[in-house]
Amino acid sequence: MESQAQEKTTPQGLNTEVPGTMTKQPSITDQPWQEWLEPVIDVLSNASNYIGQWFNTYKQLLTTLGIILLAIISVKIIVAVLGAIGDIPLLAPILQLVGLSYTAWFVWRYLWKASNRQELMAEFDALKNQIFGENA
């Protein structure tokens, strides 16, 4: 009767043969679902390697897509800013007048005579050589 009472009062996992020691709990590796969990853990632990390898494979494509996305966003921002400027009274007509005046001056200065067109082409070639080099 005393052994039955002792079994009922002894906490689970307590080793009664050696005082003060606990029995060993089953480890995670003993679980049947461990074989399913191990490949997931391997993939997650190597995720940075997989992502880096994927990025290196598609680096040019990702860069191109990023530049296209930035260009689209930039155009949208410029259109919004120009729309806001166009809504300011008297500013839009003044800017149009400045643009038309500069266009008229450019035509008069560089496009009206053949000698001026040759001068423009010489300046353009000098700028092209400065940017791209002599062999361009």
Domain ranges for the chain:
52-87, 89-136
- Is the separation of the CB atoms in 16 and 22 below 8 Å? no
**Burial status of residue 110 (CB atoms within 10 A of its CB: 0-12, 13-18, 19 or more):** middle
| pLDDT at 135 exceeding the cut of 90 | no
Inter-CA distances, 40 with 24, 28, 43, 45, 46, Å: 27, 15, 5, 9, 10
Give the pLDDT confidence of 80-104 residue by residue, as tens digits. 998 998 899 899 889 999 999 999 9
pLDDT digits (tens, 9 = 90+) for 112-130: 988 889 999 999 999 999 9
pTM (predicted TM-score): 0.44
Mean pLDDT of 5-17: 56
Q: How confident is the model at residue 131 (pLDDT cuts 50, 70, 90)?
A: very high
